[in-house]
Amino acid sequence: MLITNMKVFLDMDGVLANLFDRVAQEIHHKPYKNITAEEKAEAKKIWSNKKDAAKFFNHLGGVEHFFATLPTFGDRTQAVVDTAIKVAGEYRICSHPASIDREASKKGKITWINKHLSPQPIEMFFPQNKADYAIDRDGTPNILIDDFPPYINAWRNAGGTAIEMRTDNFNNAQEVKLFLEKELTNAIKTPTKESFDVVIQRLQEQLN
């Protein structure tokens, strides 16, 4: 374990929970990797079209039940957790609640966490803006592991360090461990230039 004040935040959907396969199987009856661009666009309607969302989630027992019963990535999910703990000593959850029903999705995610993650996270956050946690008040940059480029970019722009990964891109747990241990170790040993820039900016603001 490396000695660090940097906090490691894990995203859920796409990193720990296999959201994409669940949606693809329900709508198109095949794995997410096998669906076409047109089919992906159709599947995304459940997040923006109220009629499509109501039909989809009601069929699966509602938004809370849907998120509570998402599948894991098996031992690859455990590999993410184990590697975060191995390198940083602990981890936190930072997951954006689904806008279709934020409170219900948050409740479902908490149920999922309590059921599937061991050891449990130190803290759980479900913010509208993940980048709020990119930097601590003392200027220490934190690390986000996420699969969604807009969240990655916002985190980095706020001065934090972000590692982009989708767990279904790895064939097995060993591949996850090797990738994540290297990325986390580098992130802790070499904070981004943006992190230092934000720290300097905050110190200047305090002095003015």
Domain extent listing, the chain: 8-18+71-207, 19-68
- Across 30-91, the runs of DSSP E, i.e. the strands, are none
Q: Give me the helices (H) in 89-189, please.
A: 102-116, 149-157, 173-189
By C-alpha distance, which of 180, 135, 138, 181 is closest to 161?
A: 135
Statement: the pTM of the whole predicted model exceeds 0.85: yes
Separation of alpha carbons 50 and 180, rounded Å: 37
Is 145 in contact with 8 (CB distance < 8 Å)? yes
Q: Which of 38-47, 65-74, 103-112 is predicted with the least confidence, judged by mean pLDDT?
A: 38-47
What is the CATH T-level fold of the domain 8-18+71-207, as seen in this structure?
Rossmann fold (3.40.50)
Question: In whole angstroms, how far apart are CA 36 and each of 31, 42, 137?
Answer: 11, 10, 44
The pLDDT of residue 44: 86
Q: Is the pLDDT of residue 42 over 80?
A: yes
